[in-house]
Amino acid sequence: ALLAELVRAPWSSKLSYVGSDGSAYVAGTDLAAGIPASDRMVVFAGDVPGGRWALLAIPTVRGYAVAWFTGPPEARAAQLSMSGGVQLVGEGDPVSHVDLANPVGTVVVVAAPGDTISVAQQVDLSATLMFFTTATVLQPADGVGVTRLEASLRYGVPTRIGIERAGQPLLEQRPTVGGPLPAFTPGGMGPNDSPYAGAVIDRTGATVTVPRPVVEAVLGATLGPLGLTAQDLAATGPAIRELFVGTADGPLTENQRRPAQQPTVRIWSVEVTSGSFILVGGWSTTTADGAVQFQPTLLDVRAPKDDPASGVVAARVSLPAAAGAPAADVLVVSSAADAVRAEVLDAQEARLRDVELRGGAAVVPTPAGASTVTVSAPSGVRSGPVQDETTDTGAVVDAGRAPTIVTAIPPRR
């Protein structure tokens, strides 16, 4: 009876979310409306520590759209609700999930029978590297492995899932995440569970005013994907530095931080205890009632000697259409305040564009083939690579590939 009811369940989440392409999902929308029960499959359904979960799938043009449904122990189908977003996967791809409302921090991995499943939740930090260690091999039943989280979830899930098939490494992935802030605190409330209480500063060291949801989103994009917690933030001063804030027309001053034009482009640097710096870029919007949405992407991890605040940061950011303005692909250049000019070069170091800087920063349409930006200032010439927020780079790859989350189910194959 449970399986028969699940294939007819609406694919609607209680929480809004943003897809991998920046599109928005509105809470309560049934993404599977109009798809007959005969085209839906129940891949997994059963009781797990702290609840009853199910994994549902719908065939698409290139694979499957899958969604997790969670609820209390022994729940009926009507008591299960979609947890997180809809994920696109290929034929035979394993999937994994964490539901933040689960009281015991359960992680469920669904792979193929015979696959070896390992879960890494700890991380070592050095001056230049961030990498997971101490992986635990699960004992799956019919390809389903279950374990529990060991670290705080406030700023993301510090977990990497590794899959071997037929004795060969198949993939590493980060689990999808659903639900509100965690209802559980492993080991009790402690430093890992506390929100960041430090200031946010700009390139000059001056404190700037930033909406709290934006700060939380920055740390969520920074710490969890790399397996870090709030304890790993630098403790010798403000760990977060805003390197750039502006719109498609250029940088903003402190007095212009709530612009009428939307969205706002933001580039950040987060310092961790090893002395390394994590670059984050993205866009934010503010509604008329003051609600803030921020879509951040981890861009790069830099060694201590490469402090972004004293160098050049160039990032490509894809802005969504908003308030009548069309979508735009922009290149953000941020450097020291005395920088006056920049050159955008391709991979062969041919000049693509000259850029005039205002206060050491500028926003221009991204030239095709942009690879490096060279900035000229009285203090000398500096160069930096163009970071691309549309792809995973740097240590994100080491943390496992990110899931592809969609806000619309592709047509059936």
Min mean pLDDT across 106-120, 209-223, 316-330, 377-391 is at 377-391
pLDDT in tens, 159-212: 778 899 999 988 888 788 887 644 433 333 334 456 677 889 988 888 988 877
DSSP notation for 341-371: EEEEE-TT--EEEEEE-BTTEEEEEPPTT--
pLDDT at residue 399 is higher than 70: no
Share of the chain above pLDDT 70, in %: 80
Say whether 3 sits in a helix, a strand or coil: helix
Q: What pLDDT shows up at residue 188? A: 33
Q: What pLDDT shows up at residue 371? A: 87
Q: Check residues 335 and 380 and name the one with the higher pLDDT.
A: 335
Q: What pLDDT shows up at residue 311? A: 84
**CA 371, CA 99: separation in Å to the nearest integer?**
39
Min mean pLDDT across 23-27, 307-311, 338-342 is at 23-27
In which band, very low, low, confident or very high, does the pLDDT at 52 lie, cut at 50, 70 and 90? very high
Nearby residues of 167 by Cβ (< 8 Å), 6 or more positions away: none
Reported in sequence order, the residue ranges of 252-290 that DSSP labels E, i.e. its strands, are: 264-271, 277-286
Type of residue found at 82: M
DSSP notation for 87-143: EEE-TT--EEEEETT-TT-EEEEE--TT-EEEEEEEEEE-SS-EEEEEEEE---BTT
In which band, very low, low, confident or very high, does the pLDDT at 231 lie, cut at 50, 70 and 90? confident
Q: What pLDDT shows up at residue 113? A: 93
What single DSSP character describes residue 191? G
In which band, very low, low, confident or very high, does the pLDDT at 378 lie, cut at 50, 70 and 90? confident
The pTM for the full model equals 0.62
**CA 314, CA 384: separation in Å to the nearest integer?**
7
Share of the chain above pLDDT 90, in %: 25
**CA 179, CA 70: separation in Å to the nearest integer?**
10
Q: What pLDDT shows up at residue 49? A: 93
Q: What pLDDT shows up at residue 353? A: 92
Q: What pLDDT shows up at residue 172? A: 82
Nearby residues of 79 by Cβ (< 8 Å), 6 or more positions away: 71, 72
**CA 314, CA 331: separation in Å to the nearest integer?**
7
**CA 158, CA 229: separation in Å to the nearest integer?**
8
Mean pLDDT score across all residues of the chain? 80
pLDDT at residue 153 is higher than 90: no
Q: What pLDDT shows up at residue 190? A: 36
Maximum mean pLDDT: which of 31-40, 148-157, 327-336: 31-40
pLDDT at residue 300 is higher than 90: no
Q: Check residues 139 and 402 and name the one with the higher pLDDT.
A: 139
Q: What pLDDT shows up at residue 96? A: 94
Q: Per the structure block, which two tokens stand in for 3?
A: 């399986």
**CA 266, CA 251: separation in Å to the nearest integer?**
10
Pairing of the two strands 176-178 and 95-99: parallel
For 205-209, the CB contacts below 8 A with 24+ separation are: 207/238, 208/242, 208/245, 208/254, 208/257, 209/254, 209/257
Q: What pLDDT shows up at residue 133? A: 56
pLDDT in tens, 234-284: 877 788 999 988 888 888 776 665 555 668 888 889 888 778 888 888 887
pLDDT in tens, 70-112: 999 999 999 999 998 899 999 989 999 988 788 888 999 999 9
Mean pLDDT score, 107-126: 82
pLDDT at residue 224 is higher than 70: no
- What is the H or E stretch that residue 225 is in? helix 212-226
Q: What pLDDT shows up at residue 184? A: 37
For 246-251, the CB contacts below 8 A with 24+ separation are: 246/332, 246/361, 246/363, 247/363, 248/319, 248/325, 248/328, 248/330, 248/363, 249/363, 250/358, 250/361, 250/362, 250/363, 251/334, 251/358, 251/359, 251/361, 251/362, 251/363
pLDDT at residue 317 is higher than 50: yes
Pairing of the two strands 361-365 and 372-377: unpaired
Of residues 76, 90, 68, the one with CA closest to residue 401: 90
Residue 8 CA: distances (Å) to CA of 28, 30, 40, 371: 16, 11, 8, 49
Pairing of the two strands 313-319 and 380-388: parallel
Q: How far is residue 56 CA from its own chain's centroid?
A: 23
